[in-house]
Amino acid sequence: MPTLRYTVPPEKDGAPVRHILKAELHFSARAISRLTRTEGGILRNGQPVRTVDLLHTGDELAVLSSDLRPARQQPLPCDTPLPIVWEDEHLLVVNKPAGMVAMVSSFYPETPTVAGALAYQRRESGIFHVVNRLDKGTTGLMAVAKSGYVHNLLRRSLHTEGFQREYRGICLGCPEPKSGLIDLPIGRDERSTVKRMIRPDGAPSRSRYEVLEEGNGLALLRLLPETGRTHQLRLHLSAIGHPLAGDWLYGTEDPDLIPRPALHSCALRLRHPVTGELLTLTAPLPEDMERLLAPK
């Protein structure tokens, strides 16, 4: 099972186990309570230890980081290809295809899910925690934590230097100026269960864009979301008069052009929450978006 290991430095000599779990390893009080009830959940130098016991310089604390209780609902395995770009015992990064959602939802009960594809590939039950969710039609890189503990650490780092996302989008027409910041608040559209809208009382939302290429009445954009609102990039581009090609919700549906919003998560740069390693991962533009840019 995934295990965290922490060697006590001189400046933490005499600290109780609970302090290290909370202040250094960032376990919640609830998670610590579960660990104390789990055999082998917390070990000091290979032996069980209480949370009130004191630690000394050089002691090694080993703590289980896997989920300690089963998921309320196991994902339904589905035989859908899902490339894995990077993986270790704590997390993995997939290259999500179009037409797949992160988890089962009431909106798409029959749609293949990332969790289901992973369950099928591994032939085993498990809990998969999606960190940066992508819409059903959006392709590209998605980080998936293998435990609630790692998921919580990664969620804390979203929209910081420790977790940066970059997208490619193809929009109708070409924005002017050719680079800039879209700073428009986003809230729910009360007339729809799905749609969002620009509204003064919405949550602060910021997206940076840069035109990389033009052709065929379209523009390829580099997109950097500084916040993470639902449908943020799609709505922001629509709001400045340049919706994504194929965006049936915020633009014009055109299956002959592309049957989905032309949006792709092309790069992730994240600091591994356990090892501290800096991961820089990329995924090439999918074929259906490449085709839009090909000379006619």
Cis peptide before 255 (omega within 30 of 0): no
What the block records as the tokens of 199 is: 């509204």
Question: Which residues, listed in sequence order, are joined to residue 187 by a DSSP beta bridge?
Answer: 197
* CA-CA-CA-CA dihedral for 228, 230, 234, 240, to nearest 10: -70
Q: Give the integer Cα–Cα distance in Å for 266 and 283.
A: 5
Longest dimension (CA), the chain: 72
Q: 192 to each of 63, 108, 195, 248, 264, how far by Cα in Å? A: 45, 16, 5, 14, 25
* CA-CA-CA-CA dihedral for 15, 17, 22, 23, to nearest 10: 20
Given the structure tokens 């085709």, which residue do they identify?
291
Q: Are the C-beta atoms of 142 and 134 separated by less than 8 Å?
A: yes
Q: Are the C-beta atoms of 144 and 130 separated by less than 8 Å?
A: yes
**Does residue 254 carry a catalytic annotation?**
no
Backbone angle region of 232, left / alpha / beta, with phi > 0 → left and psi within -120 to 50 → alpha? alpha
How big is the CA angle at 215 (ends 209 and 218), to the nearest 5 degrees?
50
User: Beta strand 196-198 with 206-215: parallel, antiparallel or unpaired?
Assistant: unpaired
Out of 135, 189, 247, 254, which one is annotated catalytic? 135
Active-site residue set: 135
